[in-house]
């Protein structure tokens, strides 16, 4: 019997020694695979709808869209229609037409895991086709002795100038915030540079749909929008940045409680 207990004790001691030779992993890898949603976002520009409701001389509608291409890169587009009537000192005119803008957005905001907010900068190439209607005009006359408060009447017969177009580029700075599940509120500011325009010899382009006001001494224009959109997730991909964080954790020690993506 004593030999049995002696053999059993020897076996237990041997197993204990062998188990101590195995390295202890103080930094176990996280086996959870973190994935992010990729898809398309569709929405409308609220600023044009609100402006049209408050201003009888303006009507506009714009569809906004973007597609998540990589971790922080988005393909973006805007498609819209605008009509605006303006009264100047000597004439009243209406401009109406369609436009499209295509480009990219680069997200610069590091989200916590599970967030999908954006603070981005981007660029657009814009193209518009439109027409001008000269509703009425007056003649400029320096000698207004008999009519000091008005100019001489020219014509009240509308004259149309069609087949006009313009091309420009835009620098875009904006943000999108998820207000609740997959619904986003967005805002952006745009600085445009007019590259080319086709105008009539008798009446210049003073306002371009999608670009806004045109001045004779500058090719720059400023715009903005406020949008609400819905994100439609199509598939998920593993976050590449998370892999770098895990690799760093293996060499530097245990991970922090929270990491930004």
Helix, strand, coil shares of the chain as percentages rounded to 5?
A: 15, 55, 30
**Residue 64 CA: distances (Å) to CA of 5, 76, 103, 225, 246:** 81, 8, 12, 10, 37
Q: How far is CA 117 from CA 100, 145, 157, 185, 191, in A?
A: 25, 64, 52, 10, 23
pTM value is: 0.76
pLDDT tens column, 151-203: 656 667 889 999 999 999 999 999 999 999 999 999 999 999 999 999 998 89
Residue-wise pLDDT for 64-101, tens only, equals 999 999 989 999 999 999 999 998 878 899 999 999 99
Per-residue confidence band for 238, with pLDDT thresholds at 50, 70 and 90: confident
Query: What distance in Å separates the CA atoms of residue 89 and residue 141, rounded to the nearest whole number?
Result: 12
Domain 37-252 classification at class level: mainly beta
Q: Are 43 and 230 in contact (CB under 8 A)?
A: yes
Q: How are beta strands 91-107 and 159-180 bridged, if at all? A: unpaired
């Amino acid at each position: 019997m004593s030999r049995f207990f002696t053999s059993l004790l020897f076996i237990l001691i041997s197993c204990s020694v062998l188990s101590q030779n195995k390295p202890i992993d103080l930094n176990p890898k996280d086996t959870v695979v973190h994935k992010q949603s990729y898809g398309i976002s569709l929405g409308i520009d609220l600023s044009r709808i609100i402006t049209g409701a408050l201003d009888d001389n303006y009507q506009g509608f714009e569809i906004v869209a973007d597609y998540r291409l990589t971790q922080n890169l988005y393909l973006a587009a805007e498609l819209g229609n605008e009509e605006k009537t303006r009264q100047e000192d000597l004439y009243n005119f209406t401009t109406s037409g369609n436009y499209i803008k295509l480009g990219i957005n680069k997200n610069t905001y590091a989200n916590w895991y599970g967030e999908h907010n954006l603070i981005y900068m981007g660029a657009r190439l814009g193209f518009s086709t439109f027409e001008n209607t000269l509703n009425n005009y007056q003649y400029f006359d320096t000698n207004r002795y008999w009519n000091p408060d008005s100019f001489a009447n020219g014509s009240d017969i509308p004259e149309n100038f069609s087949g006009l177009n313009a091309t420009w580029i835009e620098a875009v700075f904006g943000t999108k915030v998820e207000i609740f599940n997959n619904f986003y509120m967005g805002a952006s500011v745009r600085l445009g540079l007019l590259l080319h325009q086709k105008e009539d010899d008798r009446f210049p382009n003073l306002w371009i749909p999608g670009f806004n006001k045109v001045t004779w001494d500058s090719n720059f224009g400023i715009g903005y929008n406020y949008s609400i959109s819905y994100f439609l997730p199509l598939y998920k991909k593993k976050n590449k940045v998370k892999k770098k964080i895990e690799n760093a954790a293996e060499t530097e020690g245990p991970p922090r409680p929270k990491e930004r993506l």
